[in-house]
A and B are shown apart, each in its own frame.
Chain A
């Protein structure tokens, strides 16, 4: 009993001292964008320190259902008045609190300047949720359009007292089947407004369900392996293996090609026929194929100075629940991506993420194949990823190439930012393979010459 109190007391002190009660949110505005299958939430918080000590951390709370689908979280501190606003990016890290009600998960935003008593700050928070729209009905036929549920809370879940809050939900069209009313609730066109709600205590929660039409392609890449092979002879070869699925309402009944082609407006509206991939400029030798051969339906708009666009069509239009696997490969000029740093090391500057537009990647693996003989690889990625090393044998390899593997789950288009990979490489290794080939041919011809000139017969 005594020991228990000894443990409990410091925890209690920590909680009461550090957070909850000394911070108050004066105004919270939340905008939820449901127009695609990637849910984007913009949260603006006006925070005030009402406690006695200065606070340097703000906590964000998420219900457990959302935390699993949270793909991206970014916090900016806004300073200055309107028009002259400047934003400073803030560090965000996941935190565990021992007394979290209902398994609430927390993220801590570390403020750039500690908030003194009585001061206020404005935080702009963007977070992205994937797989948060649940199709209902679960199965639809070809002629129906796709309806989905979105579940959230009308009140912002927060460990702090919120004085005033409003939530706006933007949906792709005017077609709303139903939505929960938590007065005051208002609907204008394709926007729902919840609030304003005054003076809600910490951890208030009020379930919210919106049932609406969303026919945007629910394209989900279940697994994407991008292999980037560096050749110091001037080429960067990229091979991307996709496992694509339509994560929307499952297709029911038969598929009629005739209907699909003759009445595109009424038939298979939730299916998608083509996808757009944004590839880097100066891309060349693009191919698009799968296990059984080339897929002839793709168009490339290549450009020498801006992003090239590759429009690909899977072999068949993808309906809900259907899958397709394919491979896209292309070459890029090395000088656009490989540079030499000041300490003599080389580094590759390449985009993380998936080139397909508006696509969620459940599991992304990037494999950077360094040239044979490269040493000491180290990757610099702006967000946490899993890293490991592998060895790969390609054409005429003797010792094998070092492969740096970067893995990340739940990747959204916001993750398409460059990462760097440093390594050291001696140019002499470039000559190893040509020399090997040349000597092999030389030996072959020597053997031929020797055979023609030397009499090997035993008899004289």
Chain B
């Protein structure tokens, strides 16, 4: 309850920020003479305190899950991250880097150090070691639980600076407030959701901000910083591919629109070359960064930049335009020919690997459904429904186009970037539910521009009126906008009232947004999904803790080298909480192996026994939710087992398990369905 009221207050306060900023210099003229604080200092104080409040708000609004449940790790993947972090803090970095994990993917094992993005674990371990050094006796679990909220808070700060860079500091503050409570982001960064995304969104926004800053200033230092930001992003999340494609795209757009400049050249080249070299240090990425299809766009744009620069130089050297035209034609054709040839040869010789399935499925939403059932089976890879857009963005969805309008009205290098970021990420968000997360910062920033610009215009309207009454003591501050409005002033008599009404409407909307966000956070996104809570018949809270009961039993009462077979969803949790070897887990790198398990699960018992013997399985874990009405149990997932199993082993056919095309689990179910494991 405390968190709720506080968050509302904070949000309203923060959204009111630009208005307050503008009023602050008014204030200084009248009353604060005795304080002798300069206007600038006052503004700084206000800005810092608002930002501080937003920072705290972003943190505490994510603590609902801790209050409702407990300080625990949520869902599936975070358990793997937690387990690896634990390993890192116990054994040190070197051991972690060379860790061969024999507890997962049982007969095969998994090279953890080479197949994960270590950014999150290293970050958490670093925070842990720092706190330990400062003599704060915290447990690594608490650090892991609170890593995501902490980075969400940091993201708000980055959002502020980003907003300031592309528009003004008012937009920055609004953006910070928006992103602090936006459900699209909260869904992946509540306390306990210890996943790569929590850190990655911070890194993503930081990289973008630093890059835009580098483009705006042309400074090598900023470009360097953005390369390091990119490095951090690569180390944290596979979504770095988005950066390495968006930035070249942006550069390309700038080139086409004739906005090529030395600043852009410096920023992009430094960022790309250094970022590439740094990214290749991550073992999971390695040479993919120069070889795989997803990264080719960046490289192409890099060479294009060189050609552009070269042409520029030749143009400068050659005074004859005719000669230059001819030269241009030859160079461009030869450059394109060489590029195409290199790409063709590379692809044909296998040096450049083709695009992966996930990447394809992003561009073509129907691809995964037809070809890779394992990607399609994940609920967060489904195309997004309108309702979930509304759920995650609320009024931002309407403010987004308005913000785009403002951006187009005042085009600059920075606004072009945010527009491109917003549009591309919105498309991806439509393709996959989980990518709403990537779109969230862009949506927040663009909406913040809309809100900030609207409120600024409205308040300046109000102020020009009041200022004439006060007899223009502060002339310089209003600037050009006030004078432009002044001419507008005479034409509409009800302008002031209209402005007030619009302002009130805007505040109403914003407060609605704040309430919605708080409600969504507390109701929808704070469930750890390991522990289920329900309301009992008498309104009391009933907690189902059966998952942990099972895992803990495995941990305590099975031989330490027991192998557990379950559907892959539970793999990470079994290794982390049960501390036992699993056959398959959530790192779905080997489709055949998963299909084998799917086959075992969907075969007759005697066949299944054979398969399990061959996999050396000691225990089988199945989840049945029939008693409590828990819907996501193994029966519900069964069709996916059949589909994935059938994808590799044609023995298994989906129609065998269906009755007249329907999936039934009761008496009328298909005979094969009833007799399988």
**A binding-site residues for B, Cβ under 8 Å:** 289-297, 315-316, 321-325, 393-398, 452
Asked if residues A294 and B552 are in contact (CB atoms below 8 Å), the reply is no
Given that A292-B577, A296-B545, A323-B557 are contacting pairs, would A315 and B552 also be in contact in the complex, using a CB cutoff of 8 Å? Answer: yes
Asked if residues B549 and A316 are in contact (CB atoms below 8 Å), the reply is yes
Given that A293-B70, A394-B137, A395-B137 are contacting pairs, would A324 and B552 also be in contact in the complex, using a CB cutoff of 8 Å? Answer: yes
Asked if residues B136 and A315 are in contact (CB atoms below 8 Å), the reply is no
CB distance from B650 to the nearest CB of A (A): 35
Asked if residues A393 and B137 are in contact (CB atoms below 8 Å), the reply is yes
Query: Which chain B residue shows the least CB distance to A293?
Result: B72
Asked if residues B135 and A396 are in contact (CB atoms below 8 Å), the reply is yes
Taking CB atoms and an 8 Å cut-off, the chain B residues in 544-560 that contact chain A are: 545, 548-549, 551-553, 555-557
Asked if residues A395 and B135 are in contact (CB atoms below 8 Å), the reply is yes
Query: Which chain B residue shows the least CB distance to A297?
Result: B545
Q: Is B659 an interface residue (CB 8 A)?
A: no
Asked if residues B551 and A292 are in contact (CB atoms below 8 Å), the reply is yes
Interface residues on B, range: 20 to 34
17 contacts across the A-B interface (CB closer than 8 A)? A289-B70, A291-B555, A292-B552, A292-B576, A293-B530, A294-B69, A294-B72, A296-B543, A315-B545, A316-B553, A323-B556, A394-B135, A395-B135, A396-B135, A396-B136, A398-B135, A452-B41
Asked if residues A397 and B553 are in contact (CB atoms below 8 Å), the reply is no
Of A290, A292, A295, A316, most buried by chain B (CB within 10 Å of CB) is: A292
Asked if residues B545 and A295 are in contact (CB atoms below 8 Å), the reply is yes
Q: How far is the CA of A295 from the CA of B576 in the complex (A)?
A: 17
Asked if residues A316 and B552 are in contact (CB atoms below 8 Å), the reply is yes
Chain B 524-562 interface mask (CB, 8 Å, partner A; 1/0): 000000110000000000010100110111011100000
Asked if residues A315 and B553 are in contact (CB atoms below 8 Å), the reply is yes
Residues from chain A with Cβ under 8 Å of B577 in the complex: 291-292
Residues from chain A with Cβ under 8 Å of B44 in the complex: 452
Residues from chain B with Cβ under 8 Å of A294 in the complex: 69-70, 72
Taking CB atoms and an 8 Å cut-off, the chain B residues in 408-454 that contact chain A are: none
Residues from chain B with Cβ under 8 Å of A293 in the complex: 70, 72, 530-531, 548
For the A-B complex with A315-B548, A316-B553, A395-B135 known, give 7 more contacts whose Cβ atoms are closer than 8 Å.
A289-B70, A291-B555, A292-B72, A293-B70, A296-B543, A315-B552, A325-B556
Asked if residues B556 and A292 are in contact (CB atoms below 8 Å), the reply is no
Q: How far is the CA of A31 from the CA of B576 in the complex (A)?
A: 50
Q: How far is the CA of A294 from the CA of B556 in the complex (A)?
A: 16
Q: How far is the CA of A316 from the CA of B135 in the complex (A)?
A: 37
Residues from chain B with Cβ under 8 Å of A297 in the complex: 545
CB distance from A290 to the nearest CB of B (A): 7
CB distance from A190 to the nearest CB of B (A): 33
Taking CB atoms and an 8 Å cut-off, the chain B residues in 145-177 that contact chain A are: none
Given that A315-B553, A323-B557, A325-B556 are contacting pairs, would A292 and B548 also be in contact in the complex, using a CB cutoff of 8 Å? Answer: yes
Q: How far is the CA of A290 from the CA of B70 in the complex (A)?
A: 12
Q: How far is the CA of A289 from the CA of B142 in the complex (A)?
A: 14
Residues from chain B with Cβ under 8 Å of A289 in the complex: 70
Taking CB atoms and an 8 Å cut-off, the chain B residues in 12-41 that contact chain A are: 41
CB distance from A243 to the nearest CB of B (A): 9
CB distance from A324 to the nearest CB of B (A): 6
Query: Which chain A residue shows the least CB distance to B69?
Result: A294
Asked if residues A322 and B135 are in contact (CB atoms below 8 Å), the reply is no
Q: How far is the CA of A317 from the CA of B566 in the complex (A)?
A: 23
Residues from chain B with Cβ under 8 Å of A296 in the complex: 531, 543, 545
Asked if residues B135 and A397 are in contact (CB atoms below 8 Å), the reply is yes
Residues from chain B with Cβ under 8 Å of A315 in the complex: 545, 548-549, 552-553
Of A294, A295, A324, A396, most buried by chain B (CB within 10 Å of CB) is: A294
Query: Which chain B residue shows the least CB distance to A392?
Result: B137
Q: How far is the CA of A322 from the CA of B552 in the complex (A)?
A: 11
CB distance from A400 to the nearest CB of B (A): 10
CB distance from B10 to the nearest CB of A (A): 22
Taking CB atoms and an 8 Å cut-off, the chain B residues in 93-138 that contact chain A are: 134-137
Residues from chain A with Cβ under 8 Å of B545 in the complex: 295-297, 315
Query: Which chain A residue shows the least CB distance to B70?
Result: A294
Query: Which chain B residue shows the least CB distance to A244?
Result: B556
Q: How far is the CA of A324 from the CA of B551 in the complex (A)?
A: 12
Query: Which chain B residue shows the least CB distance to A433?
Result: B135
Query: Which chain A residue shows the least CB distance to B138?
Result: A395
Q: How far is the CA of A397 from the CA of B137 in the complex (A)?
A: 9
Residues from chain A with Cβ under 8 Å of B70 in the complex: 289, 293-294
Q: How far is the CA of A393 from the CA of B133 in the complex (A)?
A: 11
Residues from chain A with Cβ under 8 Å of B531 in the complex: 293, 296
CB distance from B551 to the nearest CB of A (A): 7
Residues from chain A with Cβ under 8 Å of B548 in the complex: 292-293, 315
CB distance from A459 to the nearest CB of B (A): 16
CB distance from A438 to the nearest CB of B (A): 15
Q: How far is the CA of A316 from the CA of B547 in the complex (A)?
A: 11
Residues from chain B with Cβ under 8 Å of A452 in the complex: 41, 44
Q: How far is the CA of A398 from the CA of B134 in the complex (A)?
A: 10
Of B134, B531, B545, most buried by chain A (CB within 10 Å of CB) is: B545
Q: How far is the CA of A325 from the CA of B577 in the complex (A)?
A: 13
Q: Give the contacting residue for B136; candidates A324, A395, A398; CB below 8 A.
A: A395
Q: How far is the CA of A159 from the CA of B549 in the complex (A)?
A: 53
Q: Give the contacting residue for A322; candidates B41, B136, B551, B557; CB below 8 A.
A: B557
Q: How far is the CA of A395 from the CA of B135 in the complex (A)?
A: 5
Q: How far is the CA of A274 from the CA of B343 in the complex (A)?
A: 68
Residues from chain B with Cβ under 8 Å of A397 in the complex: 135
Asked if residues A324 and B556 are in contact (CB atoms below 8 Å), the reply is yes
Q: How far is the CA of A368 from the CA of B556 in the complex (A)?
A: 29
Q: How far is the CA of A321 from the CA of B558 in the complex (A)?
A: 11
Q: How far is the CA of A17 from the CA of B530 in the complex (A)?
A: 73
CB distance from A447 to the nearest CB of B (A): 15
Residues from chain B with Cβ under 8 Å of A393 in the complex: 135, 137
Closest 5 CB pairs of A and B: A294-B70, A315-B549, A293-B72, A292-B577, A323-B556
Query: Which chain B residue shows the least CB distance to A448?
Result: B48
Residues from chain A with Cβ under 8 Å of B135 in the complex: 393-398
